[in-house]
Amino acid sequence: MPSLQNDRLLRALLRQPVDRTPIWLMRQAGRYLPEYRETRRRAGSFLALCKDPALATEVTLQPIARFGLDAAILFSDILTVPDAMGLGLYFVEGEGPKFERPLRSEWEIRNLSAPDPTVELAYVLEAVRQIRRALDGSVPLIGFSGSPWTLACYMVEGGASEDYRTVKTLLYTRPDLMHRILEVTTQAVIDYLNAQIEAGAQAVMLFDSWGGVLAEEAFKTFSLPYLARIVSGLRREAQGRIVPSIVFTKGGGVWLEDLASIGADAVGLDWTMDIGRARTLVGDRVALQGNLDPAILFAPPDVVVREACKVLEAFGHGSGHVFNLGHGISQHTPPEHVAALVHAVQTESVKYHQKA
């Protein structure tokens, strides 16, 4: 593999010195880009796009080519793991993901097993290999997975949910079955992320998208310990470099110090927490990623720039900050506003990394 020309992301995640703050965006390859919409049209469906390594490579590289971001993130979906477990993933236009066989019976839960990622998820690993070749050392590639709790929400509910009634009922009435799902899914995620690292991912991220819907005791019982188990099970080095890990719990600001203690290199923040206060709370234990409100990108470019500068100022001087949104970019975002954001971060952050 060629040497990495831009390693700002990896250095910042490890709190090593950088010349400016690196930036990438959650869901940076997506429907807000006309080139993505064209590739998806050619693929025929979202799932077909995910399962075609050449097209997944194409869309992964689109935002890098357009904006000059500091990292690429594998184009895939968190639900490929439960799909590989045999739950039958499909998508309904306007409704999102669904499962043909959600986990509702005790026997289904008892029979659940972790898939072999080199077999059932081989198409993802091939996409990782192809993306690495196509990037040719320009920027690092981030691999990712959903967290066990977040995956379990979809696996039990059968799709997206407004109130998480089914999965929370299971959690409180049959915690033994809930833990069974989480244990199997944890092993699946460890295997999956390590396979991505083996294939070429240079950093990995855990998306605990629905961790924030849990009560505190439930979060510390049914999400946090499984996140910690995954982090401890990850391969730490590949191709002579440390492979940093990022954990992101949407709505998890109240548990920031707990998340900072599980062994990950970085904690992602949603937009509800001041990043300066977060830095004070975690000290030098972890890097922080975030955390501009994605809705700010609907505002005119001058407002986008102003708000981006506020995030940079709030974090302050020194390394350990990866600029990102507080959640995924909206499909309605004007691409030129994203360009203004990236340019602002790449130019305005320099002063925070200069030695006095």
Residue-wise pLDDT for 33-51, tens only, equals 999 999 999 999 999 999 9
Q: Using the 8-state DSSP alphabet, how is residue 252 labeled?
A: -
The amino acid sitting at 227 is L
User: Residue range 152-161: average pLDDT?
Assistant: 94
How far apart, in whole angstroms, are the C-alpha atoms of residue 108 and residue 100? 13
What pTM did the predictor assign?
0.97
Is residue 52 annotated as involved in ligand binding? no
Q: Confidence band (pLDDT; 50, 70, 90) for 241? A: very high
Cβ atoms of residues 219 and 251 within 8 Å: no
Nearest to residue 202, comparing CAs of 22, 19, 352, 342? Answer: 22
Average pLDDT, the chain: 96
pLDDT for 201 equals 98
pLDDT for 251 equals 96
User: Residue range 163-172: average pLDDT?
Assistant: 97
Residues marked as catalytic: 27, 31, 40, 77, 154
The domain locations on the chain are: 8-291+319-326
The CA-based dihedral angle spanning residues 325, 74, 190, 163, taken in that order and rounded to the nearest 10 degrees = 50
Q: Confidence band (pLDDT; 50, 70, 90) for 1? A: low
Other beta carbons within 10 angstroms of residue 354's beta carbon come to 9
Is residue 77 annotated as involved in ligand binding? yes
Is residue 160 annotated as involved in ligand binding? no
pLDDT for 355 equals 79
Q: Confidence band (pLDDT; 50, 70, 90) for 111? A: very high
% of the chain surpassing 70 pLDDT: 99
8-291+319-326 topology per CATH: TIM Barrel (3.20.20)
Q: Is the pLDDT of residue 92 over 90?
A: no
Q: Is the pLDDT of residue 218 over 70?
A: yes
Helix ranges, 68-103 (H): 80-82
Q: Which residue has the higher pLDDT, 356 or 345?
A: 345
How far apart, in whole angstroms, are the C-alpha atoms of residue 342 and residue 339? 5
How far apart, in whole angstroms, are the C-alpha atoms of residue 292 and residue 275? 10
Q: Confidence band (pLDDT; 50, 70, 90) for 3? A: confident
Q: Is the pLDDT of residue 303 over 80?
A: yes
**Length of the chain in residues, anyone?**
356
How far apart, in whole angstroms, are the C-alpha atoms of residue 51 and residue 53? 6
Q: Report how far apart, in Å, the C-alpha atoms of 218 and of each of 38, 188, 247 are.
A: 42, 22, 18
Q: Which helix (H) or strand (E) holds 64?
A: helix 53-67
Q: Is the pLDDT of residue 356 over 70?
A: no
Q: Where are the beta strands (DSSP E) in 25-146?
A: 72-73, 89-92, 96-99, 141-146
With b for 16 or more beta-carbon neighbours within 10 A and e for fewer, the 99-121 pattern comes to beebbeeeebbeebebbebeebb
pLDDT for 94 equals 77
How far apart, in whole angstroms, are the C-alpha atoms of residue 290 and residue 249? 12
Q: Confidence band (pLDDT; 50, 70, 90) for 96? A: confident
User: Residue range 120-125: average pLDDT?
Assistant: 98
Helix ranges, 223-320 (H): 224-233, 256-259, 275-282, 301-315
User: Residue range 164-171: average pLDDT?
Assistant: 97
Cβ atoms of residues 272 and 326 within 8 Å: yes
Q: Tokens representing 269?
A: 């923040």
For residue 63, how far is the Cα from the chain centroid? 16
Is residue 76 annotated as involved in ligand binding? no
Is residue 263 annotated as involved in ligand binding? no
pLDDT for 101 equals 95
347 burial (CB, 10 Å; 0-12 / 13-18 / 19+) is exposed
Q: Tokens representing 32?
A: 């807000």
Q: If you count DSSP H runs as helices and E runs as strands, how many of each does the chain have, helices first?
A: 17, 11
User: Residue range 171-180: average pLDDT?
Assistant: 98
Is residue 30 annotated as involved in ligand binding? yes
pLDDT in tens, 265-277: 999 999 999 999 9
Q: Is the pLDDT of residue 82 over 70?
A: yes
